[in-house]
Structure 1
Amino acid sequence: MTRPRILVVGAGFAGVECVRRLERKLAPDEADVTLVTPFAYQLYLPLLPQVASGVLTPQSIAVSLRRSKRYRTRIIPGGAIGVDLKAKVCVIRTITDQIVNEPYDYIVLAPGSITRTFDIPGLTDNAFGMKTLAEAAYIRDHVISQLDLADASQDPAERAARLQFVVVGGGYAGTETAACLQKLTHAAVKRYPRIDPALIKWHLIDIAPKLMPELGDKLGRSAQKILARRGIDVSLGVSIEKAGPEEVTFTDGRVVPTRTLIWTAGVVASPLIATLGAETIRGRLAVTAEMTLPGQDGVFALGDSAAVPDLAQGDDAICPPTAQHAMRQGPQVADNIIATLRGRPLQPYRHKDLGLVVDLGGTDAVAKPLGIELHGLPAQFAARGYHWAALRTNVAKVRVATNWTLNAIAGDDFVRTGFQARRPAKLKDFEYTDAYLSPEQVRAQVEGTGREQL
């Protein structure tokens, strides 16, 4: 008899933690584990703004999946673009654009999320995203290049436009991105004697009435005061009406000349979920508390793309799409798969939220660990302590701690790598939303080519 085939889709927090638990608890001959991911690393997303601002190097938060000596998972370098639940086949597009069918006995759907966009003229053509390592590295190069070009320009209008920066999204990602990059430009402008520091203007806008409402009114106002003190213009109840290559129009009528629009206005579940034809809740796959898909044998889903019931909250609440929940759902799904293999009962996921941390750069931060409100240095220690502890390997922890120490002592060198200087790097170039198949196309692919394997 062949060993059961476990296919894990996605190498985010949920997928990687699931694979790690499976490797530790399964006997070598008990099951075969396969992971589908374009990159053989786990990206620690909460620290991405610090890569964009140069506090951390990209390698620091890209944790290799192959460092473990016991690593025995087969990796398919690509992305899942469709799943035929009846045939138990996952359709995969490899990084060389080859389409293959991967059969499974058990599938773990953890494809994560993509940037939420709206039908705003010019948005995907002119805005930068902040979801991948490449985007963070590109944004850093772009921001520094704006300083270089402004310094060299003889046109006052062009200089002013290049020194205005717009970030859309008042959640954690947007607030931290605006705060960290403002810190970068504030430090860098000292090396540009021809640039008037007063010309550098950062705008943070959000359609919501409050900044980071999950923090509560008190800490939200504290964060807003910190940003205002630094000169960041925070506009709430405002969004983008249209985006052009050289200016952005706000919904309140303001027109801001700028070459930099960063879009961080939330996320939505991966388009892979739409290929299943299953019930969803606000776009996320509706699953049980055990993270199984009702009516389907051997299908588990978790993380940003699954609406996992939040038993700690009750009242039909679902777990928010945060790293904290994904990191804990992964091992629980692995335990439930093992329980299924061994004929044991499945256990529901239950986790009480530990709180929130927001790193605003330097000594500025706000945090609410275990319901305790903190700001300033205590909040900074809590924020960085939590992130440091959550890093998966000791190598990553050493790299991050070293980067933090060097940056605190020596500051930034404001180096622009230029690796992607001639490549487009806007929202449309990273999401690949047109790569997914419809349910009908998935069935045709599975029925037409059979179960091919790499």
Structure 2
Amino acid sequence: MSRPRIVIVGAGFAGYQAARTLSRTARGAAEIVLINPTDYFLYVPLLPEVASGVLEPRRATVSLPDTLPGVRIVLGEIDRIDLPERRVGYVDAEGSPADLRYDRLVVSIGSVNKLLPIPGVNEHAHGFRTLPEALYLRDHLTRQIELADLTDDSAERAARCTFVVVGAGYTGTEVAAHCVTATDLLVRRHPRLANQEVRWLLLDLADRVLPELDQRMSVTAQKVLDSRGVDTRFGTSVREATADGVHLSDGEFVATRSLIWCVGVRPDPVVDELGLATLKGRLVVDEFLAVPRHPEVFACGDAAAVPDPSRPGEITPMTAQHAVRQGKLVARNIAASYGHGSPAPYRHKDLGFVVDLGGAQAAANPLHVPLSGPLAKVVTRGYHLASIPGNRVRVAADWMLESLLSRQGVQLGLVPPSAVPLETSSPELFHPVGR
């Protein structure tokens, strides 16, 4: 008899951990297949350091073939799942259609940028969820400063030296905190810009930065942003975006060529196309992460509405901590479905959060102990080194070199704007036709 086939859709935090755990526990007993558009797992928390030039791009990636022994890596983008026939259809790396039969399926397709019906945003903003987006922003910051140096038009120069970030959550706060240091360094290399003000605006409808985290972390982050001259605007968002700037909800027009969209994420809309029950756009699963009426299908991470035992009636938030744990549990429960061990319900304990604010600054609350400054930085970097499933020596080496050498302020020119449109940017896969 042939071995059962376990197909995992998506190599984000949840999918990668499911594949990694299965590669250790089920290798030989089952064929494990991981379908993903790229041959790497992306460690998203390091992207702000990629965008600001602290880390080289590959430092935020972990090779799938190198770290998942015994797992068959299929490069492709999912375009359909046939539940009755138990088949997954995908388009391979060269555009040819193909499909795979499965005995067990793990849906871990992740999330995409959250879009709002604001005129001009899709055309003029860029998100920050993928490696191409981080690379594009890194080039874009450099390009704007260099173009500002070339012009004698004071209005154009001011616009090119103005950067607007929408969303003061985890991602937006880190992007603003890191990238303001990058533009400060770039400006110092251009004597003609010696007296030019570089403006960073961070907008959010909430009443503080990091509204989803502990108040003390918000205070720490706000102090760092203030010290670096970042203009934080609360209760404010973008009403309209144009090629020349943004109209804010308070009526002000800000001339800029840089609109960075960090308003959060949403489940991939293709989940709705499966015809299964959803909650807030996420697949409904039981406490064992199995899809009701389809015991062969499991879901985890941002794609799944996992019941939160610590908050009865609520589902777990879309965070990496939950995705990692759920991916590991899915692997265990799939093994249990074949008679190896017993299934376990999802349980978690909040370990706290870390927010890297660039330079020697960070905010952290490991085990709910509030930390700030250099000590929080040590904890934050230690956490990332422990969490990234590879590349640790290279990441640590880049951090050491950053403290000894100046950053390289050059454009690589690898990612054109057309390659990172906001409306289709996604860190995962599942791009249905016509979307």
Structure 2 length as normaliser, TM-score?
Answer: 0.96
What value does the CA root-mean-square deviation take over the aligned residues?
A: 1.8
- What are the residue-to-residue correspondences of 1:282-431 with 2, within 5 Å? 282-311=280-309, 313-342=310-339, 344-393=341-390, 396-421=391-416, 423-428=418-423, 430-431=425-426
Equivalence for 1:265: 263
Shift of 1:73: 1.6
- What are the residue-to-residue correspondences of 1:29-178 with 2, within 5 Å? 30-68=29-67, 71-178=69-176
Within 1, Cα distance between the matches of 2:192 and 2:27?
A: 65
- What are the residue-to-residue correspondences of 1:153-232 with 2, within 5 Å? 153-196=151-194, 198-232=196-230
Q: Which amino acid aligns with 1:406?
A: L
Larger mean Cα displacement after TM superposition, 418-427 or 226-235: 418-427
Within 2, Cα distance between the matches of 1:330 and 1:434?
A: 19
Shift of 1:421: 4.6
Equivalence for 1:436: 432
Within 2, Cα distance between the matches of 1:352 and 1:414?
A: 42
Within 2, Cα distance between the matches of 1:180 and 1:113?
A: 24
Shift of 1:98: 2.3
Q: Which amino acid aligns with 1:375?
A: S
Within 2, Cα distance between the matches of 1:345 and 1:187?
A: 55
Larger mean Cα displacement after TM superposition, 210-219 or 251-260: 210-219
Q: Which amino acid aligns with 2:290?
A: T
- 1:145-189 deviations in whole A, cap 9, x for unaligned? 000000011111110100000001111110000110001011221
Q: Secondary structure at the match of 2:231?
A: strand
Shift of 1:354: 0.5
Indicate conservation of the 8 Å contact 2:120/2:240, yes or no.
yes
Within 2, Cα distance between the matches of 1:197 and 1:178?
A: 21
Within 2, Cα distance between the matches of 1:192 and 1:126?
A: 27
Q: Which amino acid aligns with 1:47?
A: L
Within 2, Cα distance between the matches of 1:27 and 1:225?
A: 50
Shift of 1:344: 4.6
Within 2, Cα distance between the matches of 1:197 and 1:400?
A: 35
Q: Which amino acid aligns with 1:404?
A: W
Q: Secondary structure at the match of 2:233?
A: strand
How much identity, in percent, do the aligned residues show? Answer: 42
Equivalence for 2:3: 3
- Structure 1 segments, 4+ long, off by >6 Å, are none
Within 2, Cα distance between the matches of 1:433 and 1:174?
A: 23
Within 1, Cα distance between the matches of 2:433 and 2:4?
A: 26
Within 1, Cα distance between the matches of 2:341 and 2:326?
A: 18
Indicate conservation of the 8 Å contact 1:292/1:300, yes or no.
yes
Within 2, Cα distance between the matches of 1:437 and 1:157?
A: 42
Shift of 1:297: 2.4
Within 1, Cα distance between the matches of 2:383 and 2:193?
A: 38
Residue ranges of structure 1 left out of the alignment (5+ in a row)? 439-454
Within 1, Cα distance between the matches of 2:159 and 2:421?
A: 19
Indicate conservation of the 8 Å contact 1:80/1:272, yes or no.
no
Within 1, Cα distance between the matches of 2:205 and 2:300?
A: 28
Residue ranges of structure 2 left out of the alignment (5+ in a row)? none
Within 2, Cα distance between the matches of 1:87 and 1:362?
A: 53
Within 2, Cα distance between the matches of 1:81 and 1:90?
A: 8
- 1:405-424 deviations in whole A, cap 9, x for unaligned? 11111121212112235754
- 1:247-302 deviations in whole A, cap 9, x for unaligned? 11111111111000000100001123112111112111111111000111210000
Indicate conservation of the 8 Å contact 2:124/2:242, yes or no.
yes
Shift of 1:100: 2.2
Within 1, Cα distance between the matches of 2:259 and 2:27?
A: 50
Indicate conservation of the 8 Å contact 1:52/1:136, yes or no.
yes
Report the CA distance shift for 1:124/1:423 in structure 2 as closer, same or farther (over 3 A).
closer
Within 1, Cα distance between the matches of 2:69 and 2:4?
A: 18
Larger mean Cα displacement after TM superposition, 48-57 or 417-426: 417-426
Q: Which amino acid aligns with 2:395?
A: V
Within 1, Cα distance between the matches of 2:8 and 2:84?
A: 17
Report the CA distance shift for 1:58/1:94 in structure 2 as closer, same or farther (over 3 A).
same
Structure 1 length as normaliser, TM-score?
Answer: 0.92
Within 1, Cα distance between the matches of 2:235 and 2:365?
A: 25
Within 1, Cα distance between the matches of 2:338 and 2:107?
A: 18
Q: Secondary structure at the match of 1:148?
A: helix
Q: Secondary structure at the match of 2:212?
A: helix
Q: Secondary structure at the match of 1:355?
A: coil
Indicate conservation of the 8 Å contact 2:112/2:425, yes or no.
no
Indicate conservation of the 8 Å contact 2:364/2:380, yes or no.
yes
Indicate conservation of the 8 Å contact 1:271/1:436, yes or no.
no
Q: Which amino acid aligns with 1:46?
A: P
